[in-house]
Structure formats: C-alpha cells, structure tokens
Structure 1
Amino acid sequence: MEPIFFILQALLDFVFYYPLFMAYLWMVGGLDYYLRREYRKARPDELPSLSSYPLVSIIVPCHNEAEHLHDTIGYLFHQRYPDYEVIAVNDGSTDETGRMLDDMARENPQLRVVHFETNQGKAMGLRMASLVARGEFLVCIDGDALLDPDAIFWMMQHFLEGPRVGAVTGNPRIRTRSTLLGKIQVGEFSAILGLIKRAQRVYGRVFTMSGVVSAFRKTALHHVGYWSVDMMTEDIDISWRLQLSHWDIRFEPNALCWILMPETLKGLWNQRLRWAQGGSEVLLRYLRHMFKWRSRRMWGVYFEYFTSIIWSYAMLLIGLIWLWGLFFPLPADMRLPTLVPAWSGVVLSLTCLLQFAVAMFLDSRYERGLGRCYYVMIWYPLAFWLINMFTIVVGLPKALLKKRGERAVWTATDRGIY
C-alpha cells in the first residue's frame, strides 16, 4: 500500500503548497509592479498629459438593462475626455431597453443605437458596434457599469505611448456591498484580480482582461478577427488571441469602473461557472499554440490556469476519500482523520490575510475605505475557494462537451442588492 500512501501524501502537499506558492508569487509580482510602474505615477486626481486626443468610441452592449440604463449612459455623458462618441447595442431586449436608448439618442447626438431583433450575444454586439464605430480606439463597458469620468485619459496614455499596445484593461470596483458576499468580493477584486493582473504584467502576459471595462485598438481587433461569438467568456478569448498575435495588453489601475456583482450564492455560482467554463474553453481551443516557441510568453498563464484545474480535481478527490472513510473502512494508508485545517490551515489563513493586506494597500490610492472589508476576508478561503473549485470541476466537462460554433448568448444575471 506504500505507493498509494505516497500518492495521497503528494496530493495533500500539492493542495497545500500550490495556493501558498501562488499567493507569494502574486504578492512579489504585485509589489514589483507597484514600485517600478505605479508608485511614481500620477494619482487618479492628476490627469496625464496626452500628446493628442483622438476620437474614442465607447461601446455599451445591452440586454434587458432598462433598470440601469439611465445611470450607465448618463454617466458616460460626463466624461472629461474631449472627443468621444457612445454606441449602445440593444441586443434583442424584451424590456424597455430599446425605447429608452432611442429616447436618449434623440436628446444627445453623441449617442448612437444599434438594434438587434433577437438575442445575438455580447460578442456579436461588440463586433457590430466596433464595425460602425468612427474611432480607432474603443472603450467597452457593460450595460450596468459606471465609467469613471477620467478613465479614458488613463487608457489612452498607453495606446499613444506604445504602437504595439492592442488593449488596456481597467480597474473594476464593486458597487454592491450590502451583504457578506458583496463585501468579500470587494476584497477579492483587490486582493485577487487586481494583484494578479499586476503580477502577470510583470511575469509576462495577462490571463484575461476585465470584460466590464476594457479599451482596444481597432487595428489590433481587425488583425485577430474581432471577438469570437461561440466562446462563453469573450473577454478571456480576445485576450489570448491578441497576445498570441503579439499584441501587448496593459493594466491601468487608474481606469476605474464601478460595477454590480451577485450577492446570492445562486448568482455567484452561475457567474463563476461561466468564468470557469470560459477559461476551460480557451485552454482547449489554444492548446496547440502552446507547443510553439513563438507563443512562449503565454506558457506562464497557460500553466497557471492548467495547474489550478489540477488543484481543483485534487481537492475533490481528497474530499471524496475523506467522505468515503466516514462510512466505509479504508486501508490505513488512505485514512484521512479530518479535513478541518490544523497548522496548515493557519498558515494558509495568515498568508491569505497578508495577501489581502498587500493588495488593499496597493489599491487604497484608488478607493477609500477598503479596510472596512478586511476582516470579513477571513471567510474568503472557505466560501470562494470551494465555489471556485466546484465550478472548475463542473466547467471543464461543460467545455469539453460544448459543440464548437454554438452561439454564446445573454442569460439572466444577478446584479446584487444595492
């Protein structure tokens, strides 16, 4: 039974050390990014001076967004950038979205509206809007997001400084924080997503842009064929396609955008399952590219996500062995007395809190009051790790079984309590 013991011990070590290693890798990378690229940069209230101010097209794909349209579109008309247009796509909405958009377009000539008769999906909406856009640079946000009035300045700085910059991902901030899940997500977007993007920029490539707030160079989009209409997460897919074609993606923490997130377990599950399936679809579709030397800068993000999938299944296997041992006898080498964390759980919890502290320090210059959410983050490993683990376990088979070419369309979304 010794080989089984060693395999089980290796799984236990992997389950423990992998998140520990990644946490410190992200912290080191995030601090390096901050010290070399962010610390001496102007603060959010100090706008950068641009060499020119080309026309920017702001694209807002909408599906049944009547509840949020006045806030989202109205906020766009307060942008401080001097030259921009707004293109809203009514993607087969069954509520008052289309009528409201037409009314707003009559009142403001900066707004143009594209109507789809049926639900075509976010990727198709982005495609159509980019083709009719007059600007070379596109800023894309969701239909329930509030774009900071200065965000375009910060993103345009990257395009004007780097001709190989194909896209810039912004810094989404959470508006929904009335429940424990909402408050935990405030810390998650700082400690996990923001820190990871900083670290990935230092180590090579980013896994994905933030689909809720991103900017693109139209030339780069045309080069890669625009967004794929059959991918569950069009933001991950376009991020990989741009970088595999050697376009650079940058992260701009000053480009703030306030967003709504799920605050129920059902809504959170559906969102994270979509993310997990979309990530798996990207890994499967671009697997062949990972064997090419020209794609070597993507090896890191591919290996990172692939390892996270292995970690999720390893966690599931250990959990199943423990459950089996509660009801049926197991060989001594396979017995797991408990899954309740002991010293290893304390180490992981302290590392998790340290990671949140580092990330909240980095993001404190963009959002005040983050410290109020710090102490609820102790629940993050228990709640969100389990949800993310199970969604990855379910998402991979869904990606494997999905028919290629099947259109990804809009579904109902939990927008939280606000």
Structure 2
Amino acid sequence: MDSLAYVRGGLFAFLFFYPLFMAYLWMIGAVYYYWRRERAQGTYENPPELPSYPGVSLVVPCHNEGDNVRETIAALLAQVYPNFEIIAVNDGSKDDTGAILDELATLHPQLRVLHFAQNQGKAMGLRMAALTSPHEFLMCIDGDALLEPHATTWVMSHFVHGARVGAVTGNPRIRTRSTLLGKVQVGEFSAIIGMIKRAQRVYGRIFTVSGVVSGFRKKALHQVGFWSLDKVTEDIDISWKLQLNYWDIRFEPNALCWILMPETLSGLWKQRLRWAQGGYEVLFANLNEIFHWKKRRMWPVAAEFAISIVWSYSMLAVAVLWASSYFMPLPEYLEPPSMIPHWPGVVLGLTCLLQFAVSLTIDSRYEKGLGRTYYWMIWYPLAFWLISLTTSIVGLPRALFKKRGRRALWISPDRGVAEREGAS
C-alpha cells in the first residue's frame, strides 16, 4: 500500500509541476530570445536592407475562399519586395473562388492561377505550386490571410543570410475578435504560440511552422519530398521532415499576417482536434528516425510532446477516479484530490497570468492596444486548457486508427462570425 500511495503522490505531483515547469521554461526562453535576438531589430514596418533580393513565389492555396480571396490577393500585391509573383491554387472550390481568381489574374500579370477540378487537399496545392514556381523561395499563406507589406522581406532576410535555413515561420495575428473566444485567442497566439516558438528556437528546434504564414527554400522541400499528402496537418509534417534532415527553421516575429480563427466552440474543437491528431500522425511517422543520435536536436521537441501526452491521459485518469468516487467508495490510495482549486490552483493561475503579462509585453511592439486583451485571459485556463486536454485525448485514437495513405482533403473551417477586426 505504501508503494501505491507513493505512486499516487508522484502522479499528482507530476500533474501540478509539469505545466508549472513548462510555463517558466517558455517564459525564460522567450525572454532570452527577445533580449538576444529581437529587441535590437527594427520595427516590422522597417525591414533590413538585403544584399540581394531573390525571386519569391507567394503561394495561396484556396478552397471555397470566395468571401476572402480578394482581400488576400490585394495584400500580396501590396508587398514591398522588388521581385515576386503570386501563385493561387483553386483546389476544387464549390463557390466563386475560381472565377474571382481568374478575374484578378486578367488585371494583375503577377498573378497566376492553378485550377484543380476536384478537392486534392492543401498539401497537394502547395506541392503543385512549388513545382510550377520558377523561383527558389516560396512564401505560403492561407486564402483568408492578410500579409503585412514588409513580411516577405523579413522572411527573406533569413534565407539570404543562412544557407541551411529551410523554412521561416511568421507571426500570425488574430483579426476575429467579436466574441469571447476570439478575444482570448488574441492573447493565446501571443502568450502560448508566440512564446513557445521563441523558447523552442532557443533550444534548437521548433514543433511546427505556422501553416498560415511560412517561407520555404525549394531545395530543402525537394530533398525531403515536399509536403506529405496523407497528413491532416501539413505544417507539422513538413517541419519535422525538414529538421530531421538537418535543415534549420527560424521564427520571424516581424513577418506579421492577419488571420481568421474560429469563434464558436464547435469550430474551435474541430480545429484543435485536427492539430492534435496531426501531431500524433507526425510523431508516429518519425518514431524510427527520432531516436538516432544524429537527430538528437529534435529530442527536446519530441520529449515535450510525448510528456504532454502522458500528462493529458494522467489527467483523464484522475478525472475518472474523481467521478467514480461519487458512485462507489475507493481505496485510500486511489482517492483523488479535490477538484476545487486550492493553493496549487492559485499558483498555476498566477503563473498563467504572469505568462500572459510577459508575452503580451513582448508582443506589444507588433500590435497596439494588445494589453486590452489581458482582462479576457482569465478565461483561458477554463476554456482552452479543457479543449486542449480533451482534443489531445481524442486525437490519439483518431491518429492510431486512421487509414494509412488516405489523402487529407480540405474541409472549410470556421472563419469566425461576421464582424472582423483588423489591426487596431
């Protein structure tokens, strides 16, 4: 019984200290990254002058983006970069996306349009655009995103100065802010996603580029076989393939891109479940490679992901025990702690608020009035932690039992409610 009690105590300590440890690891890493690499840079509106400006193809895969694609193409045409073209891929859209793109192509010679008769999936759209591009460098964004005018220059600064840079991930900013979920996501992309990318860059490798805004070197893509067609998250897949083949991935916070995100619980659930399932698929696909000594720089990223899986299922076990205790008596060594927060909950809550304060302070240089979202972040642990926990649990069996080799096709996501706010 003593050994079981010891295991029980260790489990509950793990459930408390793991998120606490990761929060402070991310904060320390992000502050170090900001101090050493970010604070001395110019503002996003004043990019560095490059020794050369290689040609870039701005790639936009589209599926049913008729409501957004005009804005997206207009933002690309406004890029302050001397040598670029635009390749838009109409991937079997059922709305007027194809007609709008053809109309825009007649007005703007920089725009070329590829049409797929049927839905082939985002990975195939990106792959075909890369194969038809005459340039060595690609800048890939989603069909509902608005790229800041100097973003291409910021991304290209890494490629021009780094021969082993295979990809550069940009800095997505939320423009759907008309509901509580939208407001909370503004803080999440700073306090969680942006902070994690900064910290992961410090210890060498990042989990994933941003699927909505990233640049790529075509030589690197060709070496790793481009994007896999059967992964539901092509961004995680290509990130691991590149880094396992010794290509570097950089994070460029000045490469801003304004994006639409789900503002309903159902839309958010579907998005995060896809993210979770995609992470599992990529982990399983690379298990044989990840343990090689030469791939050791990926170990921290893989370990962080694996431990988070264990933490999620441990939380599930505690939740089951807690629910069971209301219907049957449990042995003393199985009795879970109270689910009502005590001092551990207070510590985690204060740490969460500190994390948001640090990240919003760092990101305030890219977005005015960002501090106003701090008030809404009190809801983040309740809504987003619960969604992340449950999608992590549900995503594992979905990845395990998915039919191998099955093409990952487009599914039109929740784009938020009608009111959309840009940068304030």
Judge same fold: TM > 0.5, yes or no: yes
1:306-321 counterparts in 2 under 5 A? 306-321=306-321
Q: Match of 2:165?
A: 165
1:67-82 counterparts in 2 under 5 A? 67-82=67-82
Q: Match of 1:297?
A: 297
- 1:338 Cα deviation after fit: 2.1
- 1:335 Cα deviation after fit: 2.0
Q: Match of 2:263?
A: 263
Question: C-alpha separation between the residues in 2 aligned to 1:341 and 1:51?
Answer: 56
Q: Match of 1:223?
A: 223
Question: C-alpha separation between the residues in 2 aligned to 1:399 and 1:305?
Answer: 15
Question: C-alpha separation between the residues in 1 aligned to 2:219 and 2:271?
Answer: 31
Q: Match of 2:146?
A: 146
Tell me the amino acid that sits aligned with residue 257 of structure 1: C
Q: Match of 1:29?
A: 29
Provide closer, same or farther for how the CA distance between residues 337 and 290 of structure 1 changes in structure 2, counting only shifts above 3 A: closer
Question: C-alpha separation between the residues in 2 aligned to 1:302 and 1:336?
Answer: 30
Tell me the amino acid that sits aligned with residue 412 of structure 1: S
1:190-209 counterparts in 2 under 5 A? 190-209=190-209
Give ranges in structure 2 of 5+ residues lacking alignment.
Answer: none
- Return 43-52 or 134-143, whichever deviates more: 43-52
Tell me the amino acid that sits aligned with residue 134 of structure 1: P
- Return 333-342 or 65-74, whichever deviates more: 333-342
- 1:329 Cα deviation after fit: 1.2
- 1:134 Cα deviation after fit: 1.5
1:34-45 counterparts in 2 under 5 A? 34-45=34-45
1:142-195 alpha-carbon deviations (Å, 9 max, x no partner): 000000010001000000000000110000000001111111100000000101
- 1:337 Cα deviation after fit: 5.2
- 1:8 Cα deviation after fit: 2.1
- 1:367 Cα deviation after fit: 0.7
- Return 157-166 or 75-84, whichever deviates more: 75-84
Q: Match of 1:211?
A: 211
- 1:106 Cα deviation after fit: 0.7
Question: C-alpha separation between the residues in 1 aligned to 2:298 and 2:110?
Answer: 39
SS in 2 for 1:253: strand
SS in 2 for 1:327: coil
Question: C-alpha separation between the residues in 2 aligned to 1:231 and 1:394?
Answer: 17
1:99-145 alpha-carbon deviations (Å, 9 max, x no partner): 11111101111100000011000000000001101111100000000
Tell me the amino acid that sits aligned with residue 4 of structure 2: I
SS in 2 for 1:166: strand
- May I ask how many residue pairs the two structures share in their alignment? 418
- 1:6 Cα deviation after fit: 2.1
Q: Is the 8 A contact 2:173 2:259 kept in 1?
A: yes
SS in 1 for 2:325: helix
- Return 345-354 or 370-379, whichever deviates more: 370-379
- 1:220 Cα deviation after fit: 0.7
SS in 2 for 1:64: coil
- 1:310 Cα deviation after fit: 0.5
Q: Match of 2:50?
A: 50
- 1:41 Cα deviation after fit: 1.2
Percent identity of paired positions between Structure 1 and Structure 2: 64
Tell me the amino acid that sits aligned with residue 131 of structure 2: L
1:243-258 counterparts in 2 under 5 A? 243-258=243-258
Say whether residues 1:406 and 2:403 are aligned partners: no
Q: Match of 1:383?
A: 383
Q: Is the 8 A contact 2:63 2:412 kept in 1?
A: no
- 1:45 Cα deviation after fit: 2.4
SS in 1 for 2:169: strand
Q: Is the 8 A contact 2:165 2:247 kept in 1?
A: yes
Aligned-pair Cα RMSD in Å: 0.8
Task: Spell out structure 1 runs of 4+ moving beyond 6 A.
Answer: none
Question: C-alpha separation between the residues in 1 aligned to 2:270 and 2:369?
Answer: 29
TM-score by length of 1: 0.99
Q: Match of 1:328?
A: 328
Tell me the amino acid that sits aligned with residue 25 of structure 1: L
Question: C-alpha separation between the residues in 2 aligned to 1:269 and 1:120?
Answer: 24
Say whether residues 1:64 and 2:70 are aligned partners: no
- 1:412 Cα deviation after fit: 2.5
Question: C-alpha separation between the residues in 1 aligned to 2:149 and 2:223?
Answer: 30
TM-score by length of 2: 0.97
- 1:336 Cα deviation after fit: 2.8
Question: C-alpha separation between the residues in 1 aligned to 2:166 and 2:332?
Answer: 56
Question: C-alpha separation between the residues in 2 aligned to 1:86 and 1:353?
Answer: 41
Tell me the amino acid that sits aligned with residue 383 of structure 2: A
Tell me the amino acid that sits aligned with residue 86 of structure 1: I
1:310-364 alpha-carbon deviations (Å, 9 max, x no partner): 1100011100100000111111222235201110000000000000111011111
- 1:379 Cα deviation after fit: 1.2
- Return 184-193 or 74-83, whichever deviates more: 74-83
1:234-286 alpha-carbon deviations (Å, 9 max, x no partner): 00000000001000000000000000000100000000000000000111110
Question: C-alpha separation between the residues in 1 aligned to 2:43 and 2:9?
Answer: 48
Tell me the amino acid that sits aligned with residue 114 of structure 2: V
Question: C-alpha separation between the residues in 2 aligned to 1:41 and 1:281?
Answer: 37
Question: C-alpha separation between the residues in 2 aligned to 1:266 and 1:191?
Answer: 23
1:268-283 counterparts in 2 under 5 A? 268-283=268-283
- 1:204 Cα deviation after fit: 1.2
Q: Match of 2:186?
A: 186
Say whether residues 1:364 and 2:368 are aligned partners: no
Q: Match of 2:84?
A: 84
- 1:230 Cα deviation after fit: 0.4
Q: Match of 1:106?
A: 106
Question: C-alpha separation between the residues in 1 aligned to 2:384 and 2:10?
Answer: 24
